[in-house]
Structure 1
Amino acid sequence: MNERYHVAQSEARQEVSPAYKVLRNTYMLLALTLAFSAVTAGVAMSMGVAHLNIFVFFIGAYGLMFLVHKLKNSSAGLLAIFAFTGFMGFTLGPILTSYLTLSNGAQLIMTALGMTATTFIGLSAVVLITKKDFSFLSNFLMAGAIVLVVAMLVAMIFNISGLALAVSAGFVLFSSAMILFETSQIIHGGERNYILATLGLYLSIYNLFVSLLSILGVVSGDD
């Protein structure tokens, strides 16, 4: 009986090992890409880079995301993910610069950063501890992404501040759900490519931070 118990334990370890290997590699790469984004954001701020044209931003972001997906199974995929996250960090620089011109800008940035980190750690812990499968969120996330993108474009084109605030709140919920979904996909075997897993979690963290910063700016009355 003891022998069967040890065999079962061994099989269980072999079964979960690939998932946790992906999780470990994902978190390592995520930490590196976030640090690289911080560096490129700092470079953009020191250079006084202005806000990019929205179409240039979308072309650059989606073009590099396509490149990451194209090269996901090769070592070049690592260069692609760093190119993407570096670009996103660079475009974040002008946003941070504009907030630093406010009297409480530094406090707003640090608060948004702290809230983002706390949310990511908390939601990740929920998935890792409970082992709950959040794959049921996939349809909601697909529909939510379409609605948010359309609402964001409408808010920008028609300059509707109230809608922009609602979009930011929507992105906070969407990004939180994405963190649950992506982490669940990793530990339950739905995602076996750590480069794509990193891409998904990075985007969730980026959108969560920017959205929280926007909401805090409006609530503080300085945005």
Structure 2
Amino acid sequence: MENTFENKTLLIDTTNEVRVAFYKKTYAHVAGGVLLFVLFEYLLLQSDAIVNFLLSMTEGWRWLVMLGGFMLATNYAESTIMKTADKNIQYMAFALYVFAQAIIFVPLLYIAIYYTESIDLVQQAAVVTLALFIGISAIVFITKKDFSFIKAGLTIGFFIAMGLIIAGTLFGFNLGLWFSVAMCLLAGGSIIYQTSNLVNKYGTEDYIPASLGLFASLMLLFWYVLTIFMSRD
């Protein structure tokens, strides 16, 4: 996700103080997105009707409908944030995206929590995800390299992954553990790309678009780390 605003002051052309303030704002917004996600998820899981409906949406072609709805919400949120400088509208789009993530996570988290009768598995996956996120992000800040060249590879990887997910849904085969491992690697690449944009591409007022990109990559990584943890049981 890249900003298209004209006449913006690039972060890379500013002082260290400005950059540090921008990084603090961005990661504070990512943390805020995580807290909002937890709140949404808690409220959604309290409703048996919502949980049962979303569980039913994971069966067969309905899962493709749910994924399609999630992708539409994602595209809408991203395009809205990139087309306006109005912070209120950007915040609303960010909140919409967080809510879409909460919706699609309900079946996975319900299975992880209620079938194991414990939240420990989710907490373990969250800790591992956060550690990986910090470690992968540190690579960019330490090397200060522009990793925008990996965008093409990530795009191809995501298209291949979507093709496999669609095929698995339509023809009823399990993609298995190694697919989840591969998706973790893809999510890691996405974190590197988004963090690289944070350092090299964004303007000084682009902390909401930057936080959305990082939050999306973080949640993708969390999904597949949790999937791997669940496969052990």
TM-score by length of 1: 0.82
Structure 2 spans left out of the alignment, 5+ residues? 1-11
Give the aligned residue type for 1:62.
M
Match of 1:60 in 2: 69
Change (3 A) 1:97 1:151: same
Aligned to 1:126: 139
- Which residue does 1:3 correspond to in 2? none
Checking the alignment, whether the CA contact within 8 Å between 1:155 and 1:164 is kept in structure 2 is: no
**Residue 204 (structure 1) shift:** 1.1
Distance of 2:150 and 2:47 partners within structure 1: 41
Comparing 93-102 and 144-153, the one that deviates more: 93-102
CA separation in 1, counterparts of 2:117 and 2:145?
A: 40
Aligned-partner residue type, residue 207 of structure 1? L
Q: Which residue does the alignment assign to 2:219? A: 206
Counting only pairs closer than 5 Å after superposition, residues 182-197 of structure 1 correspond to structure 2 as 182-188=194-200, 190-192=201-203, 193-197=206-210
Residue 32 of structure 1: SS of its match in structure 2? helix
C-alpha change, 1:20 and 1:143, in structure 2 (3 Å) is farther
2:78 alignment partner, SS class: helix
Identical-residue share of aligned pairs (%): 23
Tell me the amino acid that sits aligned with residue 73 of structure 2: L
> Aligned-pair distance for 1:211?
0.6
Q: Which residue of 1 aligns with 2:187?
A: 175
Q: Is the 8 A contact 2:112 2:119 kept in 1?
A: yes
Is the CA contact (8 Å cut-off) linking 2:26 and 2:207 kept in structure 1?
A: yes
- Unpaired runs of 5+ residues, structure 1, are 1-11
Residues paired across the two proteins, number? 207
| Pair 44,16 (structure 1): closer, same or farther in 2 beyond 3 Å | same
Matched residue of 2:115: which SS?
Answer: coil
Spell out, residue by residue over 1:28-87, the C-alpha distance to the aligned partner (whole angstroms, 9 max, x if none): 211111110111111111113232442443343223223323322222011111111022
Contact 1:68 1:80 in 2 (8 A): yes
Instruction: Report which of the two structures shows the higher radius of gyration computed on alpha carbons.
Output: 1
CA RMSD of aligned residues (A): 2.2
Equivalence map 1:1-223=2 (5 Å): 14-15=14-15, 19-48=19-48, 49-50=51-52, 51=54, 52=57, 53-72=62-81, 73=84, 74-75=86-87, 76-103=89-116, 105-161=118-174, 163-188=175-200, 190-192=201-203, 193-218=206-231, 220=232, 222=233
Secondary structure (helix, strand or coil) at the match of 2:145 reads coil
Amino acid at match of 1:140: G
Moved more, 139-148 or 63-72: 63-72
User: Residues of 2 paired with 1:213 and 1:78: CA distance?
Assistant: 28
> Which string of whole-angstrom CA distances, capped at 9 and with x for unpartnered residues, describes residues 71-125 of structure 1?
2222201111111102211332332111123337533212211110000011112
Larger RCO (alpha carbons 8 Å, 6+ apart): 2
